[in-house]
Amino acid sequence: MGNSAMVMKRQENGRGALQWWMARTRRVRHTQVMESSLPLSHSPQTPRACAGPSASSKEEFEAWFRLLESPGVGRRSAAALIHRWGEIQKVWSATPAQWAQVIGPVAAQALGAAPEAVFLQRQEAAWRWLQGQDECDLPAPRRAITWGAADYPDILTQLPDPPLMLYVAGSTAAWDRPSLAIVGSRNPTAQGVDHAKAFASALSRAGWGVISGLALGIDAAAHEGALEAQGPTVAVIGTGPDRVYPRRHHGLARRIVQSAGAVVSEYPPGSPVRPENFPLRNRIIAGLARGTLVVEAALESGSLITAKLALDAGREVFAIPGSIHSPQSKGCHALIRQGAKLVETAQDIVEEFAPDLWSTAALSAPPPPVDGRLQLMGHDPVALDTLAWRSGLDVGEVAAQLLEWELQGLVARLPGGLYQRRSAG
């Protein structure tokens, strides 16, 4: 067997092992994602509407909204009807008896029932959000992008369960370039935050888009890194587009939209925070990207859901190794053991795709020189007394030096009286 064949075989074995491990560690919330899979795919047998504008007219928007949001219908049934008739107008031209042949009599009856006043109020509120006639101050443009429309992202059609409608605030230009999803812990170490920012910035400078979920921790750091490099970033959220969660990231969401990025949701305006929405949201994060990078993750992290969904969509999975003592590194180490690619630089990611097509000049900058005293810290969290012993200095001198480094952004103070070098050092 030649060298290239052996490499391919190892990659296949690694991918298979990773799939096995992800299946083994699946929890109930993982199952919720897979059980709600829709009968849509990018196969030729799936009719797709003729390319045209998204739901720009109120009548067309209301047709989509009623299909997707009517109580008792559900995503699976809505997708089955689109799969059968291909276009929203043809779905509503069919009779309830014809619907029943596809989705059963109960769902067909629910879809044909007259909408209640509360439903109509939700529908009107969603339309007002699209028109900018609400109190949400996310900048324009806003739109509802539907399955089959010309501006629906082609990369999402490759998912086994693509969203049928996306609410978007901002520009979709980021979808026209290769993108990487960057996800990880909501409670990262300072070094993890630095890694997320550095990878996002480097990839942005090289012409890549950055996809993440606007959550605390690694998600926010990835968005910030892309913005610092003046690159587009897309935030896929699990609430309505008018309800940024967490609230403290409202300013970040505004900056994303103002910087040629986008805030995207499958859920209509007014949709509150629901835990079950976030695993479903993760499939869109994975689906919009050519690969997913996990920066820091515990073994039970929701980021592993995104990694599994990336695999299900046929995408690459990358992971950054960390300290063997850190719980936030154990998820990444498990991914690496089971076949995810270990990466140390953004260039490691670009090389997996088409390195000749994208700029790599920004990915290979030499690291800055490191103070010899700083090297005594190593890269794991370390106590003040331990540093004093390593350096031969008294505790007071070491504490003063640590404070100086902390102010310079070279060291982070951790819970329990520990300190850790940041990636800048």
For the chain, the structural domain boundaries read 58-139, 171-363, 372-421
What pLDDT is recorded for position 370? 52
Amino acid at 422: R
Contact 78, 68 (CB under 8 A): yes
For residue 350, the SS3 value is helix
> Which DSSP string do the residues of 74-124 spell out, in sequence order?
HHHHHHHHHHHHSSHHHHHHS-HHHHHHHH-HHHHHHHHSPPPHHHHHHHH
CATH fold of 372-421 reads Arc Repressor Mutant, subunit A (1.10.10)
What pLDDT is recorded for position 93? 96
- Separation in Å, CA 63 to CA 38, 57, 258: 19, 10, 30
Contact 70, 115 (CB under 8 A): yes
Pull the structure tokens for residue 91. Answer: 């779905």
**Of 92, 89, 103, which is closest to residue 50 (Cα–Cα)?**
89
**Of 213, 138, 129, which is closest to residue 169 (Cα–Cα)?**
138
Pull the structure tokens for residue 231. Answer: 């690159």
Cα separation, 278 vs 215, whole angstroms: 10
- Separation in Å, CA 116 to CA 103, 130, 281: 22, 22, 28
**Of 399, 419, 400, 398, which is closest to residue 410 (Cα–Cα)?**
419
**Of 418, 416, 412, which is closest to residue 194 (Cα–Cα)?**
412
Amino acid at 20: W
Cα separation, 292 vs 262, whole angstroms: 18
Pull the structure tokens for residue 40. Answer: 């849509």
Identify the H or E element spanning 388.
helix 384-391
| 187-199 confidence digits (pLDDT tens) | 998 889 999 999 9
Cα separation, 307 vs 313, whole angstroms: 10
Q: Where are the beta strands (DSSP E) in 250-299?
A: 262-265, 291-294
**Virtual torsion, Cα 197, 200, 205, 208, nearest 10 deg:** -170
Assign domain 171-363 one CATH number from 3.30.565.10, 3.40.50.2300, 3.40.1190.20, 3.40.50.450: 3.40.50.450
What pLDDT is recorded for position 395? 66
Cα separation, 128 vs 422, whole angstroms: 45
What pLDDT is recorded for position 71? 96
Q: Evaluate the CA torsion angle 128, 132, 136, 139 in order and state its sign.
A: positive
User: Burial level of 152, CB count in 10 A (0-12/13-18/19+)?
Assistant: buried
Residues 6+ apart with CB under 8 A from 75: 36, 38, 68, 161, 164
What pLDDT is recorded for position 194? 92
What pLDDT is recorded for position 144? 96
Segments of the chain with pLDDT less than 70: 1-56, 354-373, 375-379, 384, 388-391, 395, 398, 402, 405-406, 423-425
- DSSP symbol at 72: T
**Of 288, 326, 294, which is closest to residue 307 (Cα–Cα)?**
294
Same fold, 171-363 and 372-421: no
Identify the H or E element spanning 209.
strand 209-212
What pLDDT is recorded for position 300? 87
Contact 250, 169 (CB under 8 A): no
Beta bridge partners of 169: 142, 263
Q: What's the whole-model pTM score? A: 0.77
